Amino acid sequence: MDLVNHLSDRMLFAVPKKGRLQQACLDLLSGSDIQFKRENRLDIALVKNLPIALIFLPAADIPTFVGEGKVDLGITGIDQVAEHDAQLPYLESSNVEQIMDLGFGNCKLQVQVPEKGQIKDVKELIGKNIVTSFTALTEDYFARLESGRSRKESINGTTSPIPQLKTKIKFVGGSVEAACALGVADGIVDLVESGETMRAAGLCAIDTVVESTAVLIKSKKTTNQKLVDLVTARIRGVIQAQRYVLCTYNVSRSNLSEATRITPGKRAPTIMSLEESDWVAVSVMVEKKNLATVMDELSEHHATDILATEIVNSRSTG
Ligand SMILES: Nc1ncnc2c1ncn2[C@@H]1O[C@H](COP(=O)(O)OP(=O)(O)OP(=O)(O)O)[C@@H](O)[C@H]1O
Ligand SMILES: O=P(O)(O)OC[C@H]1O[C@H](OP(=O)(O)OP(=O)(O)O)[C@H](O)[C@@H]1O
């Protein structure tokens, strides 16, 4: 099928074609019942059950296509959105809108130097050689450092720039961490999650440029707002279901206020009367990460039959 000619009447949704964010994105699509079959080596897939086409792109390029309005919706890292926005000409505002934090792909874009080297402070890197895949954010970061301005002052233009030695920033597409050992850089600006790559390369972080997670982004120029809203609601439901469990328990009315203090729920707990007049059944959403503690505390306050159930999907506006 000539896929390209089937795109005009569809909402276009960009997802990373490879790398760290891809599997979690595919899981989100599956949880949202967005059904597709991607042919080998094809970067376009038509969704079978909705008028949507998925476009598989490098995470770094997704904000550009979304910003241009060629693609309606996308998933990428906040770092890539920030890099895209930093590339925009002075005073041009971004057409990329961040809709929702997706809760995966957590990492930090950090300034790193050789652990055993002389440089301990970022100011000592002014005028030196820096290697990065994020040249616009790095240019911005060092421009502020060179002029001695804070980010706020820089945006407001409240202080005049102090001419300084210019830091030299070079682009490399990957394996940034090798640059110092190869003598190409005095420092690098690269992503860190566990810190394993950084430590293996004998580097340490001396500052953070941006903190990042995966985000759902949309184009401010979209003409497919209804489908954007539908997909957003579905993804929000999946994220929420992943984050919460449904906790139910029985408790006597005399212990109810203490129990609902422990489990206030997202809005409020659902309380149902039991045949036994002094007792109620409570049903409430609890964040997975707090579940064990919440169950311990409920037990201490004489709640019984405490059950936690996985939520497959959910929908709410709050
Ligand atoms: N170690 C990491 N842990 C968590 N998230 C990461 C990590 N590295 C990168 N990311 C996130 O994933 C995004 C894509 O990075 P990734 O390295 O997977 O890119 P890629 O598209 O495979 O490109 P490349 O070929 O340059 O590696 C980053 O912009 C960042 O938001
Ligand atoms: O702190 P860590 O958990 O070690 O992760 C950080 C590494 O992950 C990313 O690279 P990736 O492995 O995706 O490959 P790349 O170097 O080709 O970009 C990033 O650029 C770091 O090198």
- The mean pLDDT of 186-209, rounded to a whole number, is 98
Considering only CA atoms, which residue is closest to atom 11 of ligand 1?
105
- Compute, in angstroms, the gap from residue 287 CA to the centroid of ligand 2: 30
Provide the pLDDT for residue 41: 86
My answer on whether 9 and 80 are in the same domain is yes
Provide the pLDDT for residue 159: 54
**Which residue is listed with tokens 């820096």?**
130
- Compute, in angstroms, the gap from residue 216 CA to the centroid of ligand 1: 16
Asked whether residue 9 is domain-assigned, the answer is yes
- The mean pLDDT of 283-309, rounded to a whole number, is 97
Instruction: Provide the token pair at 7.
Output: 């795109």
In short, whether 80's Cβ falls inside 6 Å of ligand 1 is: yes
Instruction: Provide the token pair at 234.
Output: 């579905």
Asked whether residue 316 is domain-assigned, the answer is no
- The mean pLDDT of 64-73, rounded to a whole number, is 95
Asked whether residue 175 is domain-assigned, the answer is yes
Asked whether residue 229 is domain-assigned, the answer is no
My answer on whether 81 and 136 are in the same domain is no
- Compute, in angstroms, the gap from residue 39 CA to the centroid of ligand 1: 24
Asked whether residue 256 is domain-assigned, the answer is yes
**Cβ–Cβ under 8 Å, residues 201 and 177:** yes
Residue type, 246: L
My answer on whether 15 and 78 are in the same domain is yes
My answer on whether 163 and 205 are in the same domain is yes
Ligand 2 atom at shortest distance from the alpha carbon of 195 = 1
Considering only CA atoms, which residue is closest to atom 9 of ligand 2?
191
Point out the ligand nearest to the CA of residue 58.
1
Asked whether residue 315 is domain-assigned, the answer is no
Q: Please count the structural domains in the chain.
A: 3
Asked whether residue 231 is domain-assigned, the answer is no
- Compute, in angstroms, the gap from residue 176 CA to the centroid of ligand 2: 9
My answer on whether 116 and 187 are in the same domain is yes
Largest interatomic CA distance in the chain? 79
In short, whether 211's Cβ falls inside 6 Å of ligand 1 is: no
pLDDT digits (tens, 9 = 90+) for 7-19: 888 999 999 999 9
Q: Which residues contact 134 (CB under 8 A, 6 or more apart)?
A: 79, 83, 109, 189, 209
Helix or strand holding residue 205 (H, E): strand 203-212
**3-state DSSP assignment of residue 7:** coil
Distance from C-alpha of 269 to C-alpha of 143, rounded to nearest angstrom: 51
- Compute, in angstroms, the gap from residue 87 CA to the centroid of ligand 2: 22
My answer on whether 193 and 265 are in the same domain is no
My answer on whether 126 and 176 are in the same domain is yes
At residue 162, does pLDDT exceed 60? no
In short, whether 19's Cβ falls inside 6 Å of ligand 1 is: yes
My answer on whether 139 and 277 are in the same domain is no
My answer on whether 37 and 116 are in the same domain is no
In short, whether 157's Cβ falls inside 6 Å of ligand 1 is: no
Asked whether residue 186 is domain-assigned, the answer is yes
Provide the pLDDT for residue 4: 64
My answer on whether 70 and 218 are in the same domain is yes
Helices (H) and strands (E) in the chain, counts: 9, 15
Residue where one domain finishes, among candidates 193, 212, 231: 212
Ligand 2 atom at shortest distance from the alpha carbon of 177 = 22
CATH of the domain at 294: 3.30.70.120
- Interface predicted TM-score (ipTM) of this complex, two decimals: 0.95
**Which residue is listed with tokens 């490399």?**
172
Considering only CA atoms, which residue is closest to atom 5 of ligand 1?
105
- Which residues form ligand 2's pocket by a CB distance below 6 Å? 19-20, 174-175, 177, 190-198
Candidate of 15, 18, 20 to mutate for ligand 1, largest count of ligand atoms within 8 Å of Cβ: 20
pLDDT digits (tens, 9 = 90+) for 78-117: 999 999 999 999 889 999 999 999 999 999 999 999 999 9
CATH of the domain at 189: 3.40.190.10
pLDDT digits (tens, 9 = 90+) for 111-161: 999 999 999 999 999 999 999 999 999 999 999 999 885 555 555 655 555
Burial zone of 14 (CB within 10 Å; 0-12 exposed, 13-18 middle, 19+ buried): buried
My answer on whether 40 and 84 are in the same domain is yes
Question: What's the pTM value of the predicted model, to 2 decimals?
Answer: 0.87
Q: Mean pLDDT score of the chain, rounded to an integer?
A: 93
My answer on whether 179 and 251 are in the same domain is no
- Range(s) of the domain holding residue 287: 244-310
